[in-house]
Chains A and B, each alone.
Chain A
Amino acid sequence: MSDIGVSTIANDFDYADALARCARGEQAALHQLYRQEGARLLGVVMRIVKDRGMAEDIVHDACLNIWQRADSFDPERGSARTWIFSIARHLALNAIRQRDREIRVDINDPGELADDDTYQQSLSTTAEAFDWQTGQQMDECLQQLETERRNCVLHAYVDGLSHAEISAHTGAPLGTVKAWIKRSLLRLRECMS
């Protein structure tokens, strides 16, 4: 089983087997998954949507999605645990982006991608926004990014912040944030390959 758990998490739980049992209609399997991951799923979703009621709704929907789509899980494509969290994260992300649209936040900026060199900030004064080291191979690659770029990437992934929100949060111009994220992703890809 290729589940890459974080070192602090007990990994004797067989996620792929639980999904296979869900796909066969064994309701106990979903309950086991929920007992195993419910609190972590709620934590991840809550951090993104920042509303307890909405977060529980999304975890409910995520569990139902997992139950109904378990037969479409493909172990060739990735680990079962990642698949489960991806479903919950994307439901949460869709919900907040939908909410942004409903309250008509203008998240489009008129400007082109600004050159990231035009935004000057002393690297030494930027604090780490996250205690992010997890003992994975990706740590090394993230380590190679400048602190504020790493912060942008993690603010997006962990907090579900949009480009505009990251810009407001970090004080970096919107075009700069977009350019940083794109370039950071390409550097991470290069580093991981």
Chain B
Amino acid sequence: MTRSNENDDLYALAGEYVLGSLPIAEREAFEARLANDPELQTIVADWEEQFFPYTAIVDPVTPSDYLWPRIERSMHAASKRSARVPRAAPTPRRLVHSLPFWRAATGLGLAAAVTMGVILTNVSTAPTTPEYMVVLLAPQTQSAGWVVQAANRQEIQLIPLGTFEVPEGKALEFWTKADDWQAPVSLGLVEPGQPLRLRLDQLPPLEDNQLFELTLEDDTGSPTGLPTGPIEFIGRAVEI
């Protein structure tokens, strides 16, 4: 393929991303690439600028009276959080339309993490106290299924709190995503009921509010390198 064809492909791909016509897997792969590619960011920004005037084709729709008060509450909550955390969290893409779930999960996760932190540090023989805790909850039932604890920012332990029935031909895949990453990164497949110790040498140090999730994928792992199956357990890191 010639250099100019490659360039054409890149421009067309960026244009398709802006149009929105890419299928989800390609879209997610593109976003992951976009996060670390300033040249691509410039191409995308140019397309955004060129197409933007055509948003005016659409008639405005007056929001309900409830929308602003809701935004205002979230903004207050985010401002309180960011007073503690240097950078506040963008809403995760995958659950973008279920914010109430997020509020519930974050609240419960925090409460559970504090409780579990006390229990685990009491029974633990390890000399170090975990710096970060994550309680992974099942989205449907809100029941805790796994705990992640990290004694430092480069090494984590995934501890099962029960068993999980994995359907034939499927496996649980473990993912993480910090607030400013564009896409989640796979931490590999996980055996239900088995604890797992992982070093995060290839990743930036663990940070507060970092997302962890387990999704149901094919038994060889996600074919796209990004989560494709349903979320079975999800939670965010809390510094303790």
Contact = CB atoms under 8 A, between A and B. Distances in A.
Interface of A: 4, 6, 8-9, 25, 27, 30-31, 34, 38-40, 42-44, 46-48, 54-61, 63-65, 67-69, 77-79, 81-83, 85-86, 89-91, 93-95, 97-98, 100-102, 107-108, 130-132, 134-136, 138, 153-154, 156-158, 160-163, 166, 181-182, 185-186, 188-189, 192
Contacts of B74: 60, 63-64
A43 B71 contact: no
A57 B99 contact: yes
A40 B52 CA distance: 12
Q: Which 5 A-B pairs have the closest CB atoms?
A: A185-B15, A39-B60, A156-B19, A97-B24, A93-B20
B53 A4 contact: yes
Contacts of A69: 90
Interface of B: 8, 11-12, 15-16, 18-24, 27, 41-42, 45-46, 48-64, 66-68, 70-72, 74-76, 78-79, 82, 87-91, 93-94, 96-99, 228, 230
B60 A40 contact: yes
B52 A158 contact: no
A85 B55 contact: yes
A65 B90 contact: yes
A158 B54 contact: yes
Contacts of B55: 40, 44, 85, 89, 158
A191 to B, nearest CB: 10
A64 B78 contact: yes
Contacts, number: 188
B128 to A, nearest CB: 32
A193 to B, nearest CB: 10
Contact of A60 (B42, B46, B99): B99
B108 to A, nearest CB: 20
A42 B60 contact: yes
A31 B24 CA distance: 32
Contact of B91 (A6, A8, A25, A64): A64
A19 to B, nearest CB: 14
A166 B16 CA distance: 13
Contacts of A56: 63-64, 66-67
Tell me if A's interface is mostly helix, strand, loop or mixed: helix
A105 to B, nearest CB: 10
Contacts of B52: 4, 79, 81-82, 85-86
A186 B11 contact: yes
A82 B48 contact: yes
Q: Which one of A67, A108, A154 has the highest number of Cβ atoms from chain B below 10 Å of its Cβ?
A: A67
B58 A166 contact: no
Contact of B71 (A63, A81, A157): A63
A129 to B, nearest CB: 10
A67 B231 CA distance: 27
A25 B75 CA distance: 10
Given A31-B72, A64-B71, A138 B50 contact: yes
Contacts of A130: 57
A69 B88 CA distance: 8
A185 B12 contact: yes
A77 B52 CA distance: 14
A154 B33 CA distance: 25
Contacts of A163: 21, 23
A67 B88 CA distance: 10
Given A27-B79, A101-B228, A186-B11, A82 B49 contact: yes
Contacts of B62: 39, 42
Given A57-B98, A85-B52, A189-B11, 19 more contacts: A6-B53, A31-B72, A42-B67, A44-B55, A60-B67, A60-B70, A60-B74, A78-B48, A89-B20, A97-B23, A97-B27, A98-B94, A98-B96, A101-B24, A102-B230, A130-B57, A138-B50, A158-B54, A158-B55
B97 to A, nearest CB: 5
Contact of B23 (A44, A63, A107, A138): A107
